[in-house]
Chain A
């Protein structure tokens, strides 16, 4: 079972993200593996533990951007590949999907590709589905549980209305959600191993892929007006008095 898990590095969730002159900055905040991708890595490791095989972490980014891959290695991925090319500075989701699909084809004999449900930065949550479409493989989105049987996979998809269970042949592309299990922490040995690992860097030429065309372009960045909220604490002699005062305040806001 050869599993590829696609990861991205993003500024830590606690970071203060600002825009200025069309550029996004997150100050001194560390870059970390996209938290949603941790579930994908966990899902991949669980499948490897159950069925054997290998887990390869795959990412697109600048050469400096290996934190997400190192995290995947530290928690147990067998190897990691970074796709990096000056021509990939500007990407939209479909361009990223075409590059990832080319890399997955180059890796070869891959049976499962796993993604997190979305990234913290762009947040579109559609690269997995587009990669599946480019590859021509089944797309199994928002997977919370996986059962493998012969050459087919059955998954439980976490949707608005509950869960939808579906079956498909392998190879397949999956996006993994939290129900898969709590992501494991890197071990001390894992961190040492990841720090020493040489992560191969593939260029577009290595992939034999042309620079993909980009159709979605950002024209402006907007900093939402910060909402200065002062909390008015409601007090009173009894829960009843507090509740009545609070209801009066809420109704006065005319929220409904």
Chain B
């Protein structure tokens, strides 16, 4: 089976699920990596290391910034000249969109956010969660190529072989797009909650530390946010010692404690980390939906009745302002050994 694998990146920083997609493509046959943008030698080299048989680079300045129409048209053009059986992409905000648009042009289907993909007698059978993960469906696509986006961390990541190289070919971009870029406001968090294998998360409870004396001159709301930010510092320390990312509940985001990019849950990001540490999060259903696929959930909450304890493997009923710093310290010591 011949697959194109789109390597999704933002300013050269690759969404790691791209490599997971490359691994799936390799297991099915020939894997051709597709890269959009300029100055991406490192990305192309890593694609070879991760197993790409060939890399197609649409080396065009107009593909440096994502615009749905240009990305869709370029993918369509590459697909038309390559005639792949399968186009694989990691599920990201970008790929959902332009893969869907490319599918319209190619008159085929998109199987979105897969957690499983196998070939049975040449027919691809995909598994994807539906109804917020309450069910999963098996789906097939009768169009060609089959286009599929893969959920981050649902497939193994290739270990990579630094000595591997291969043939890099440039392919033309199709740059027509009615949208033009105005600019970015880039979030400060380097590792996104979707990619992190460990996420330490804070909820409304992070603003309730009675031991703190807020600086004078703040109004009531300013004081609340200041308190919450002190709380998130503790969670940030814990995430940092574990090499993880900081998450947040909707209550914390709505409270203005932390930007939306951190939000975990139905209206934020649905994540699948190996370890999820919920601090001061009560566990509203919308939040629990977002962590259903977490492998190990640990909850720290003052309220022993909080629903978060129903999904947690380990829990501490206690004050997060005491427990979280102690946890950071304990990880520092025990992991050092």
Q: Assuming A120-B132, A139-B69, A159-B93, is B139 touching A233 (CB within 8 A)?
A: no
Whether A248 contacts B140 by the Cβ 8 Å rule is no
Among the listed B98, B143, B198, B316, which residue makes an inter-chain contact with A255, where contact means beta carbons less than 8 Å apart? B198
Among the listed A138, A144, A162, A253, which residue makes an inter-chain contact with B179, where contact means beta carbons less than 8 Å apart? A138
CB-contacts of A11-59 with B (<8 A): 11, 13-14, 16-19, 24, 35-36
> Is A256 interfacial (CB 8 A cutoff)?
yes
> Which of B23-31, B103-111, B201-209 is near enough to bind chain A?
B103-111
Whether A129 contacts B185 by the Cβ 8 Å rule is no
Among the listed B143, B178, B325, which residue makes an inter-chain contact with A215, where contact means beta carbons less than 8 Å apart? B143
Q: Chain A nearest CB: distance from B183 CB in Å?
A: 5
> Is B326 interfacial (CB 8 A cutoff)?
yes
Contacts of A159 in B (CB 8 A): 10, 66, 93-94
Q: Chain A nearest CB: distance from B239 CB in Å?
A: 13
CB-contacts of B96-123 with A (<8 A): 96-101, 103-105, 107-113
Contacts of A137 in B (CB 8 A): 178
Name the residue on A nearest B177 (C-beta).
Answer: A138
Whether A166 contacts B181 by the Cβ 8 Å rule is yes
Whether A242 contacts B137 by the Cβ 8 Å rule is no
Name the residue on A nearest B269 (C-beta).
Answer: A160
Give the complex CA separation of A231 and B315 in angstroms. 6
> Is A201 interfacial (CB 8 A cutoff)?
no
> Which of B46-54, B211-219, B305-313 is near enough to bind chain A?
B305-313
Q: Chain A nearest CB: distance from B268 CB in Å?
A: 8
Q: Assuming A129-B98, A215-B109, is B127 touching A222 (CB within 8 A)?
A: yes
Contacts of A189 in B (CB 8 A): none
Among the listed A144, A218, A232, which residue makes an inter-chain contact with B139, where contact means beta carbons less than 8 Å apart? A218
Contacts of B94 in A (CB 8 A): 159
Whether A168 contacts B179 by the Cβ 8 Å rule is yes
Whether B135 contacts A224 by the Cβ 8 Å rule is yes
Give the complex CA separation of A167 and B181 in angstroms. 6
Q: Chain B nearest CB: distance from A231 CB in Å?
A: 5
Whether A248 contacts B180 by the Cβ 8 Å rule is no
Give the complex CA separation of A129 and B197 in angstroms. 30
Give the complex CA separation of A178 and B309 in angstroms. 27
Contacts of B136 in A (CB 8 A): 221-224
Q: Assuming A133-B105, A229-B313, A255-B296, is B261 touching A162 (CB within 8 A)?
A: yes
Q: Assuming A129-B98, A255-B296, is B185 touching A234 (CB within 8 A)?
A: no
Among the listed A13, A16, A134, A139, which residue makes an inter-chain contact with B68, where contact means beta carbons less than 8 Å apart? A139
Q: Assuming A160-B93, A166-B181, A247-B327, is B314 touching A232 (CB within 8 A)?
A: yes
Closest 8 CB pairs of A and B: A126-B100, A243-B326, A162-B187, A216-B109, A220-B138, A165-B182, A239-B326, A133-B104
Contacts of A120 in B (CB 8 A): 131-132, 266
Whether B182 contacts A167 by the Cβ 8 Å rule is yes
Chain A interface SS verdict (over half) = mixed
Interface residues contributed by chain B, number (CB under 8 Å) = 97
> Is A217 interfacial (CB 8 A cutoff)?
yes
Q: Chain B nearest CB: distance from A75 CB in Å?
A: 18
Q: Assuming A162-B186, A162-B187, A255-B274, is B130 touching A121 (CB within 8 A)?
A: yes
Chain B interface SS verdict (over half) = mixed
Q: Assuming A251-B334, A256-B275, is B68 touching A129 (CB within 8 A)?
A: yes
Contacts of B309 in A (CB 8 A): 231, 233
Give the complex CA separation of A93 and B299 in angstroms. 38
Q: Assuming A139-B69, A215-B141, A217-B140, is B179 touching A160 (CB within 8 A)?
A: no
Count class of interface residues, chain A: 35 or more
Q: Chain A nearest CB: distance from B191 CB in Å?
A: 11
> Is B41 interfacial (CB 8 A cutoff)?
no
> Is B133 interfacial (CB 8 A cutoff)?
yes
7 A–B contacts, CB within 8 A, in A order: A13-B266, A121-B130, A123-B112, A137-B178, A161-B10, A167-B180, A223-B136
Contacts of A238 in B (CB 8 A): 326
Contacts of B296 in A (CB 8 A): 250, 253, 255
Among the listed B104, B198, B260, which residue makes an inter-chain contact with A256, where contact means beta carbons less than 8 Å apart? B198
Whether B187 contacts A217 by the Cβ 8 Å rule is no
> Is A141 interfacial (CB 8 A cutoff)?
yes
B 313-335 to A, binary, CB cutoff 8 A, 1 in contact else 0? 11111110011011101110011
With A123-B130, A239-B319, A249-B314 given, name 12 new contacts (CB 8 A). A124-B113, A138-B177, A159-B93, A167-B179, A216-B139, A218-B137, A221-B137, A229-B297, A229-B312, A233-B314, A233-B316, A239-B325
Contacts of B187 in A (CB 8 A): 161-163
Whether A229 contacts B311 by the Cβ 8 Å rule is yes
Give the complex CA separation of A102 and B310 in angstroms. 47
CB-contacts of B277-310 with A (<8 A): 285-286, 289, 295-299, 304, 309-310
> Is A240 interfacial (CB 8 A cutoff)?
yes
Q: Chain B nearest CB: distance from A178 CB in Å?
A: 5
Contacts of B112 in A (CB 8 A): 123-126
> Is B267 interfacial (CB 8 A cutoff)?
yes
